[in-house]
Amino acid sequence: MSSSIVLSEAENHFFSDVCQFFDHAAQFTRHDAGLLDQIRSCNSVYRFRFPIRKGNGFEVIDAWRIEHSHHQSPTKGGIRYSEMVNEDEVMALAALMTYKCAIVNVPFGGAKGGIKINPKKYSEQELENITRRYTVELIKKNFIGPSIDVPAPDYGTGEREMGWIADTYATMNPGQGDALGCVTGKPIALHGIAGRREATGRGVAIAARECVSVAEDMKKLGLMPGITGKRVIVQGLGNVGFYSAKFLAEYGALIVGICEYEGAIYNEDGLDVNTVFEHRKATGSILGYPL
């Protein structure tokens, strides 16, 4: 019982943690307090519920789309499918999207979406129904559009879901020439961009490579600079984890461990990420991979 209470409290701290970092940084600016409050706050929070048919009955789904900042248009941010998703998490991730875009001068406001489901518990048809209904609800409230709010893949979603979103939006907006621009991360066949699938994982690998290349920082850790020979354990072998591990290995790192939903494997001599991925694809698990 106590562990449940701790989880309940912890799951509602993410946005306040982000705001604490913002407030700390804001001390070093000369901006008006009211302006800082506007930057900190989420501009639009849309929480909704909708029913889907499941088996012989119905199930009510909780969902969110949150636009943190309208200082630039469109807003931009992924949609995640997870049983653990909640409003606080989506608010925090939307805020982080605003700050990430601002830091690198990408002219978007931040946004994020979430549907409280475990995708593993639904058939492909049920997931399509959920995704299309979610899109319809966003359209009804003007929370999606090429110049309004542009979703993307995130945890538990990918090209398939983005394709369903794009198709639903285009169907409900006939004659709109840029309709497919309502979402990124689409399949190539639906005007997606080559390289998008591996982009996030590649970014993780590049960031890690650059971090361990700073001699001053590595000296403090008692390590030699450079990615070559560094031993890496990857948590997750999905779209981000797989490509992160793949590119890290190409850069010279040694992937010694991989953790997934069903368990973990370790080999001090290194793992071939591609063959582990194919093993999981064939068997549904990384367990049983010959070490």
Taking residue 68's Cβ as centre, other Cβ atoms within 10 Å add up to 30
Residues 149, 158 contacting (CB under 8 angstroms)? no
Task: Verify whether residue 230 is a known catalytic residue.
Answer: no
- Of 101, 92, 126, 76, the closest CA to residue 11 belongs to 92
Question: From CA 75, how far away is CA 69, in angstroms rounded?
Answer: 7
Name the 3-class secondary structure at 56.
coil
Q: Tell me the two tokens of residue 146.
A: 């090429």
Q: On the CB side of 203, how many CA atoms lie within 13 Å of its CA?
A: 8
Residue 208 identity (one-letter amino acid): A
Taking residue 177's Cβ as centre, other Cβ atoms within 10 Å add up to 8
Question: From CA 212, how far away is CA 225, in angstroms rounded?
Answer: 6
Catalytic residue among 54, 76, 100, 112: 112
Active site residues: 112
